[in-house]
Structure 1
Amino acid sequence: MDKIIIRNLEFYSFIGVTKAEQEVGQRLVVNLEIGYDLAPAGHSDALGDTLSYTEIAQTVLAVGTSLECRLLEVMAEQMVYAIFEHFPTHEVRLQLLKKPPPTTMMMEAAGVEILRQRRGGQVE
């Protein structure tokens, strides 16, 4: 399967369960794999035969910087649904990370990863 890949797309958000997260905010990182047939663009060298990774990133950032929620799971779902709404892709894998997470433990990142597919017009 062909994929468009976006790695380490960073933005700032006030997502979180704790009051501190909601007031101070934190850096989030998105990694994406967008399933799409890249053969036509590979033969034509035409942007119209592929998906613009810039437009995909802008769509994801619009959700990430405006959505008010507590859980990464909610934000990840909304990002994926926005991609399906604006682009004719059949599959999206999205990883959303708090980097670093607000914890006393030492770790680089913590987050969620979801995989959704469009089948018969429905997103699953």
Structure 2
Amino acid sequence: MDTVFLQALTLRSVIGVRPWERSFAQRLELDLSLSVDTRNAAARDAIDAAVDYAALSERLTQRAADADCQLIETLAERLAMAVLEDTRIESVELTLRKPGAVPAARSVGVRIIRSQSEVP
């Protein structure tokens, strides 16, 4: 299996449990590692045979902007399920970070792994 990855995609979303956190869209960072067979895309050299990471980035950016979650775990799960809407992607390892959430730390976040077998 091959890996397509995306690192440090900046997202904005209303997220948090405290009232002040929910008063504005906060900056988040997303990393993706996608398990996908790239042989067909390589053989055809055509974007329609590949995972279009630009289109995927746009879709995830919009999903995050439209979300209104208290927990970063909830948003991570929703984003992972959005990734797996492309059935060519067998699994996704997703890291979602919330920079500055803890003053003494550069970032906090969650890393999850989901696969097609978990899609409802």
What is the TM-score when the length of structure 2 is the normalising length? Answer: 0.90
Q: Aligned equivalents of 1:25 and 1:47: distance in 2?
A: 32
Q: Aligned equivalents of 1:24 and 1:98: distance in 2?
A: 14
Q: How far did residue 24 of structure 1 move?
A: 3.5
Q: Paired residues, what number?
A: 120
Q: Percent identity?
A: 28
Give 1 or 2: higher strand fraction. Answer: 2
Q: Aligned equivalents of 1:28 and 1:98: distance in 2?
A: 5
Q: Aligned equivalents of 2:25 and 2:56: distance in 1?
A: 24
Q: How far did residue 65 of structure 1 move?
A: 0.5
Q: How far did residue 87 of structure 1 move?
A: 4.5
Checking the alignment, whether the CA contact within 8 Å between 1:27 and 1:98 is kept in structure 2 is: yes
Q: Aligned equivalents of 1:32 and 1:60: distance in 2?
A: 11
Q: Aligned equivalents of 2:60 and 2:19: distance in 1?
A: 24
Give the root-mean-square deviation of aligned CA atoms.
Answer: 1.6
Please name the residue that 2:77 is paired with: 77
Please name the residue that 2:105 is paired with: 107
Moved over 6 A (4+): none
Deviations 1:66-88 (A, max 9, x none): 11110011001111111222453
Q: How far did residue 14 of structure 1 move?
A: 1.7
Checking the alignment, whether the CA contact within 8 Å between 1:63 and 1:75 is kept in structure 2 is: no
What is the TM-score when the length of structure 1 is the normalising length? Answer: 0.87
Q: How far did residue 18 of structure 1 move?
A: 0.8
Please name the residue that 1:123 is paired with: 119
Checking the alignment, whether the CA contact within 8 Å between 2:93 and 2:112 is kept in structure 1 is: yes
Please name the residue that 1:40 is paired with: 40
Q: What SS is found at the alignment partner of 1:10? A: strand
Amino acid at match of 1:46: A
Is 1:91 matched with 2:87? Answer: no
